[in-house]
Structure 1
Amino acid sequence: MHRWTLALLTAGLLATTATGCAGTTTTPGAPAGGTPRAAGSPAETLRLAEQLLIKECMEKEGHKYWVEPPSPDDVAIRFPYVVDDPAWAKAHGYGTDLRREREAEVRRNANQRYFRSMPADTRATLVNDLNGARPQGLSARLPNGVRVTHSDQGCQATAERELYGNLQAWFRATRVTDSLAGLRVGLVTNDKRYKAAVKPWARCMRERTYPYADPARTRAAATLPETPWPHAKEVRLASAEAACAVSSGLSTVAKSLDSEYRDRLRRSHPRETADLTRLKREALPRARAIVARGD
């Protein structure tokens, strides 16, 4: 999941590497205040249990750690093809207001303040204790051929090992299935059915005085300029995109294709898909017990 975070750690301290691309690294960052305890869905319970285990491990290493709340979805996660929720578009445009809020939260959260308060050598120790000193021990080959690695040491790995049991299987299953999301978006947007559905959407946009050929260009126009758009201007463009997505049928086509390619990609990687489902199912009773006992 994409997260808006401040670049507080240097590349030399990151504990995850990949041959050809970067992997995933946990960085301290949670809002100041009390420790979140609400856990409703299985996914929320697993996430909270993992955070509690990380907190417990970090405190054993002599550090402070505050449980991370779930991060809000980036607009690219919420709307990978086209903004198609008029109410959301009216409130947030392309989500730059939410992005700014998240960046402000990161700047003032307890973990980041704690990290910034430490001298450089202590920061390095903190990162190593969280992520492991070297990106060695865990490895997975992604569908695009890239090999990603991560340390099997550190509190992140310790928490995942305790929660999911087979750490290597968990690492491989999560990295491979996570990478399928990007592949799926590319397959959908290159599908001739999607391209055909974009044409009436573009006509609808032109009728509203927006001459953009596809949704990617509308989003780029509002979110990429060096000078940010006024919120009202961003909202007007996103609202037009959403209205046209619904009226032209592009939203329906995109969702149908997304479901089709999701199923196809899962079938093409049955081992990782099955492992992910099994590991989560087996971890859930442990997670509920961890959440129930709290700190």
Structure 2
Amino acid sequence: MHGGFERKAVGRRATAAAWGSLLLAMTATACGAGTGDGPADRPREPTAAETALLDRAQEELVRRCMKKLGFRYWPAPPSEPDELKDFPLVVDDMAWARRHGYGGDLQQRAEKERRNDPNVAYVQGFSAARQQAYSVARTGDGSRSLEVTAPNGQDVGQDSTGCIAEAEGTLYGDFRAWFRVSVITDNLPDHSVDVRRDARFRRAVEEWSACMAKQGHPYKSPSHLQKELAKLTGGRSRDEAHRTEVLLATAEASCARSTPLAATVRSLTRNHDRAVREKYGSDIDAKRRMQLAALTRAREITGN
């Protein structure tokens, strides 16, 4: 998605992350894989439904762990497939655009879930000492922190104690290995800037812009539309803003598909993904193998 919102879907996992940040502030304490082309024996990418199953299983394991330590925990619902859609360069999915425009409705839903998260209200009722104990139970006491250097050069750390680490270790079989491949694959290089600089992309954008102008939308590029969207939706009711988003997003997608833009983006992205695959393919494959192997455990944990 894009516009006044990032060109990236806002899912319920973002709600959990926001709550985690709030909890850390309260207690004053303290990763999309490139696909690329490859041999048939490489592990497949889990489906959206399988990813949701794994998320549910992990949250259930966290709940059980917290219960053993004397705390209640409400598992966060997994993201829906539409919330996982990502359009970093141009929206080209007509069905998605008709439903969500640029995803403002999804962002509003995530914000509502963040505000109404029962975990937040639960922890706010604690004393400072109890809040600290809750944080330690959930995220660890800091005694055994792991650190992995992400592809962007940043060091990412996570405590290997606490219910989150325990849940990930139980589900995926090896917390340390899972944490390492997750940090790497969740922070793979973003080549969208390189794509935008490519002459083939710029030529395709010119054709897209001409298509949009014929429909009464005078935008030079999808990023130009993105910059203007906040002005077009600002001050409007939720329904009016959504209708504006849908109108523009469906026009954007229609022009992306009727001009070379959508195909050009896919082609250029595949080229860059191959380079990513060459460098990080073993980590991508390792994560997928761990995810696929965890599906049986996830079904047992959730009863699905």
Q: 1:40 to 1:197 in 2, by over 3 A?
A: closer
Q: 1:109 to 1:76 in 2, by over 3 A?
A: closer
Report deviation, 1:100: 1.3
Calculate the TM-score normalised by the size of structure 1.
0.79
- Is 1:68 matched up with 2:82? no
Instruction: Please give the per-residue CA displacement for 1:77-111, whole angstroms capped at 9, x wherever unaligned.
Output: 43222112334323322111221122112222322
Structure 1 unaligned blocks of 5 or more = 17-22, 24-38
CA distance in 2, matches of 1:167, 1:194: 41
Q: Which moved more, 1:276-285 or 1:170-179?
A: 276-285
Task: For residue 134 of structure 1, give the secondary structure of its aligned residue in structure 2.
Answer: coil
Q: Which moved more, 1:208-217 or 1:141-150?
A: 208-217
- Is 1:205 matched up with 2:212? yes
Which amino acid in the other structure matches residue 173 of structure 2? G
- Is 1:123 matched up with 2:131? yes
Calculate the TM-score normalised by the size of structure 2.
0.77
Contact 2:83 2:106 in 1 (8 A): no
Task: For residue 89 of structure 1, give the secondary structure of its aligned residue in structure 2.
Answer: helix
1:13-92 equivalences in 2 (<5 Å): 13=27, 41-72=49-80, 77-92=85-100
Structure 2 unaligned blocks of 5 or more = 1-8, 32-46
Report deviation, 1:201: 0.8
Instruction: Please give the per-residue CA displacement for 1:223-268, whole angstroms capped at 9, x wherever unaligned.
Output: 4889355423333222221221111121122223333333331221
What residue number does 1:9 align with?
A: 23
Q: 1:88 to 1:278 in 2, by over 3 A?
A: closer
> Which of these residues, 135, 149, 154, is aligned with residue 162 of structure 2?
154
CA distance in 2, matches of 1:276, 1:9: 28
Name the % identity: 33
Contact 2:49 2:81 in 1 (8 A): no
Which amino acid in the other structure matches residue 290 of structure 2? L
1:206-225 equivalences in 2 (<5 Å): 206-223=213-230
Contact 1:136 1:149 in 2 (8 A): no
- Is 1:261 matched up with 2:272? yes
CA distance in 1, matches of 2:131, 2:231: 33
Q: Which moved more, 1:52-61 or 1:206-215?
A: 206-215
Contact 1:131 1:153 in 2 (8 A): yes
Q: 1:227 to 1:134 in 2, by over 3 A?
A: farther
1:101-116 equivalences in 2 (<5 Å): 101-116=109-124
1:234-249 equivalences in 2 (<5 Å): 234-249=245-260
Q: Which moved more, 1:69-78 or 1:238-247?
A: 69-78
Question: Which of 1 and 2 has higher RCO (CA within 8 Å, sep 6+)?
Answer: 2
CA distance in 2, matches of 1:237, 1:228: 17
What residue number does 1:35 align with?
A: none
Which amino acid in the other structure matches residue 215 of structure 1? P
CA RMSD of aligned residues (A): 3.1
Task: For residue 183 of structure 1, give the secondary structure of its aligned residue in structure 2.
Answer: coil
> Which of these residues, 226, 229, 233, is aligned with residue 244 of structure 2?
233
CA distance in 2, matches of 1:14, 1:136: 19
Q: 1:15 to 1:188 in 2, by over 3 A?
A: farther
Report deviation, 1:74: 8.0
Contact 2:58 2:168 in 1 (8 A): yes
Report deviation, 1:138: 1.4
Which amino acid in the other structure matches residue 129 of structure 1? A
Task: For residue 186 of structure 2, give the secondary structure of its aligned residue in structure 1.
Answer: helix
Q: 1:154 to 1:87 in 2, by over 3 A?
A: same
CA distance in 2, matches of 1:9, 1:77: 28
Which amino acid in the other structure matches residue 74 of structure 2? W
Number of positions where the alignment pairs a residue of Structure 1 with one of Structure 2:
271
Report deviation, 1:160: 0.8
CA distance in 2, matches of 1:75, 1:186: 23
CA distance in 1, matches of 2:144, 2:285: 25
CA distance in 1, matches of 2:143, 2:216: 51
What residue number does 1:174 align with?
A: 182
Instruction: Please give the per-residue CA displacement for 1:125-157, whole angstroms capped at 9, x wherever unaligned.
Output: 222221123395211111121111111111100
